[in-house]
Amino acid sequence: MMGNGFRDLTVYQKAFTLAMEVFEITKKFPSVEKYALTDQVRRSSRSVCRAIGEGYRKRQYPKHFSAKMSDADMENTETQISLDFAMSCKYITPEECNDLRKKSEEIGKMLNHMVENPEKFKSRK
């Protein structure tokens, strides 16, 4: 189904772009948040990509694939929650939060599709 691996997956590309946007926007967070909110939201947004890559490598095992995509979705939700805190703390504007949330929700829908349809991603040798 795929040509060059997990990097060809639209969901991976969107998650990677979102993680980079999160990285950029968190540069303006106060230093007091360095080890709490800043690191956490960066870590969770990047973990979405990591779980997609890991799951893709195990796609010949549908249950493992679905579990990794579910892990990616969990990290994606964690990112959304951290962004909600960032907005409530006024580190980002409501508009910035809503833009990032919409992108994250789209990624979540794609991941959910993958969880429910692992056979569509099974490697064909």
Q: Once rounded to an integer, what is the mean pLDDT over residues 66-85?
A: 98
Question: Which range of residues forms the domain containing residue 98?
Answer: 6-118
Q: How many domains does the chain have?
A: 1
CATH code for position 52: 1.20.1440.60
Question: 76-102 burial, b for 16+ CB within 10 Å, e for fewer?
Answer: bbbbbebbebbbeeebbeeeebeebbe
Per-residue confidence (pLDDT) for residue 93, from 0 to 100: 98
Indicate the pTM of the whole model. 0.93
Of 12, 81, 21, 99, residue with least CA distance to 47: 12
Residue 123 in any domain: the answer is no
pLDDT for 108 beyond 50: yes
In a domain, 45, yes or no: yes
pLDDT in tens, 41-61: 999 999 999 999 999 999 999
Confidence of residue 2 (pLDDT cuts 50, 70, 90): very low
Confidence at residue 124, expressed as pLDDT on a 0 to 100 scale: 67
Alpha carbon distance 48, 45 (integer Å): 6
Q: Is residue 1 part of a domain?
A: no
User: Is 66 part of a structural domain of the chain?
Assistant: yes
What does the alpha-carbon distance between residue 80 and residue 108 come to, in Å, rounded to a whole number? 10
Q: Which residues contact 95 (CB under 8 A, 6 or more apart)?
A: none
What does the pLDDT average to over 110-121? Answer: 95
